[in-house]
Structure formats: structure tokens, C-alpha cells
Amino acid sequence: MRADRLVSLVLLLRQRGRMTAETLARELEVSTRTVMRDIEALSAAGVPVYAERGRHGGFALLPDFQTALTGLTHDEALALLVAGSRRGAQLFGLGSALASAMLKVVDALPEGLRDTAADATQRLLIDPETDLLSRRVAAEEMSDAIVAEVRRAVFAGHRLRIHYAALNQAPKWRTVDPIGLVTVREQGYLLAKRAGEDRTYRLSRVRAAEELDESAQRPDTVDLDRAWQARTAQFRTGGDKVAVLVRVNPARREHLVGTVLAVCAEETDADGWLRLNVIFQDSRHAEWALWQHATDAEVLAPQWLRNSLRNRAAAIAARYGSPS
């Protein structure tokens, strides 16, 4: 761990020039005393780091201390930086490793390429926290230590004990055979088998994890994309899911689709409106989502949902039918 921190310290000085101990401590998330010890260790190892005294002093490297990474074009370097800004690493507990890797990539670029790539990244924003309507992207909170334990078991091919809190249930211990990790729309999932049955666990609901010293019962090779599609199909048809046939104004299609679990079929009616077969989480979810569209959507089936929306509209009309 200290070796990684020493490398990060050198790279920070390479890229930013002179930095104070306090700034380095903040960037590395350690104390200033730890930074001073690291500076001493680097000097003892022959790294040309020196201190500048005075009001604007700090630590710096000699100008000729550098490395070079040849063969990368500007677009290739930019692609690496953009890929490094995605959320997958954070979801799988690799956020600090990603930051360190990006520092190394930028530092190793030739100077001219480093400057243009850094400038280009200032003009790209990947996956902001809110959309144009100021709706916040729901990023899940997960413990890096727990996710790291899950990740180790997945890569080592070992069984895993997890303290898992299913929706609206108290946490329970489960022993599973991990298969792989998936990230979808800012959410991380563990694909596993339990007692031979396929299971999918949301990482944010894992309260504790323990890698076991025994081999997982899993296939030697797996097509994660195909496995995920199968789990998705199973999820759509299980539990209290509600299938709805609805007509919607094309201008409102994206808003409707953004509220459903799945779109199973879609076609265009003669009047230009869209007819969709969609899946909602449950009856309350279906009624709430379709009520938002007012006259821009019409439920064709099931009948109970048509009745529910009609009764709600009648109650609203009665409430506002006379002056207050």
C-alpha cells in the first residue's frame, strides 16, 4: 500500500510541480507527518525530490526526472482518460486504483500529448450527477472493503458468505458461488449460484462479506452478457410485476420508458401514437407512472388499471368542480 502511495506522490509532483505538504496530504488522504516520512523515503531511494523554503515553498522534483510512454496517439490517450471516468471502477471498489492508474497514464505521456489530452478532458463531462431536468442520478453507497472482498472471491473462484438485506427483509447470511460482477445504470450486481439456483444480488445491499477457503461450484467459462440477459428475463416475469398495454403520444415515449422495468413490444398505430407492452414493478408503480402522463397516455389493459386511473381522475374533477 505504501509503495502505491509513494508512486502517486511522485506522479503528483511530476504533473503539478511544487506542492506543499498539506496539499499532498489532502490529495493522498494521509497526514502531513506521513507525507514527510514518504518524502524522506523517496530521497533515500534516490528520487530527486527537494524542498523549497519560504512563503511559497513546498516540495518539487528535478525537471529532468521523467518517463515517457510512446506509441499512443492523442485520441488513444483521450479514450483511456474517458474510460477512466466511468463509474464501473467505483462500483466494484476500484476507485482509488483507478485514480492511481490515471495519474500514471497521464504522467507517462510525452509532454505535448499530455497537455493536449488534459485540455481535452476539460471539455468532456461523462455521466454527470443530474440530467437536464435536475433529476439526480441515484448513485449507490457501498463499502469499498465489502466490495473488495466480493471481488476477490469472484476472481479467485472461491465461495462467498454474504450478509444480504433483500428488499423489505432483515439481513440474512447466505453462502453463494460467485460467477461475475455486472454494472448497470450506476448499480452494481453480483451474479452467483446458491444451492445450484441462479441468484442476483445488488452490491449495495450486501452488509458484510467473507471469502471462504473453498472452491466455488461454477462453470469454467461463462458468457456474462448472456447470463445477464437470462437474469433480466427472469426478473421481468417474477414476483408482483405488472404487464400493461398502453398507447402513448410519441413525444412522451422516452419519459414513459424511463419509468418502466422493461419494454416487451412496440408498434405504431395508424394515428401515429405508439402502442407498447411494458412491465412495471407492481400495481402502485404502474398507476403512479401512468398518472404522470395525463391525456398523453391511455391504458388499454388490464381493465383494473383503467378503472383505477378513471376513479382517480373523477376524484380530482370532483375536488375542483366548484369554487373553494
Q: DSSP letter string over 189-210? A: EEEEEETTEEEEEEGGGEEEEE
Residue 306: the pLDDT is 95
Residue 181: the pLDDT is 86
- Of 112-116, 308-312, 315-319, give the lowest mean pLDDT range: 112-116
- In tens, the pLDDT along 98-126 reads 666 666 666 666 666 566 666 655 665 55
- In tens, the pLDDT along 283-302 reads 888 999 999 999 999 999 99
Residue 126: the pLDDT is 57
Alpha helical stretches, state H, 85-240:
88-91, 95-108, 111-121, 144-156, 224-237
Report the distance separating Cα 53 and Cα 48, nearest Å.
Answer: 16
Contacts of 217 (CB under 8 A, 6+ apart): 159, 177, 193, 196
Q: Is residue 177 predicted with pLDDT exceeding 90?
A: yes
pTM equals 0.50
C-alpha cell at 56: 511559497
User: Once rounded to an integer, what is the mean pLDDT over residues 81-107?
Assistant: 61
Q: Is residue 200 predicted with pLDDT exceeding 80?
A: yes
Q: pLDDT category, 91, cuts 50, 70, 90?
A: low
Q: pLDDT category, 16, cuts 50, 70, 90?
A: confident
Q: Is residue 138 predicted with pLDDT exceeding 80?
A: no
- Of 30-44, 59-73, 192-206, 241-255, give the lowest mean pLDDT range: 59-73
Q: pLDDT category, 163, cuts 50, 70, 90?
A: very high
Residue 134: the pLDDT is 62
Residue 118: the pLDDT is 61
Vertex 303 angle, CA 297 and 307, to 5°? 75
Q: pLDDT category, 77, cuts 50, 70, 90?
A: low
Mean residue pLDDT of the chain comes to 80
